[in-house]
Amino acid sequence: MDSTTQQPEQLAVDVRQMTKMVPFAVRSLRRMDSGGRLPRGFKVGGRKLWRVSDLRLWTEWGFPERQEFEARLISITK
């Protein structure tokens, strides 16, 4: 691809890519994930990823804990 070609938007990111979207370091994000404070991620080939759409909502909603985030997510998808 040449430099004028637009790249498709990413649908999922790993923890290192996530640091470009949120104000937390990799180590903090890993701790937050193990403590249930990040949106639920998923594994692909042993690599943990998070949906970009979930991270955008999580940021917009002020970084709620996973349980609250999932409850709010369910309420908006009904």
Q: Residue 67: pLDDT band by 50, 70, 90 thresholds? A: very high
pTM of the model: 0.85
C-alpha 54/C-alpha 23 separation (Å) is 15
Neighbours of 32 (CB within 10 A): 17
Lowest mean pLDDT among 2-11, 30-39, 49-58, 67-76: 2-11
Burial bucket for residue 66 (CB in 10 Å: 0-12, 13-18, 19+): middle
Q: What is the pLDDT of residues 37-63, one digit of tens each?
A: 999 999 999 999 999 999 999 999 999
Tokens 């042993």 sit at which residue? 46
Neighbours of 29 (CB within 10 A): 18
Is residue 47 within a helix (H) or strand (E), and if so which, with residue range?
A: strand 47-51
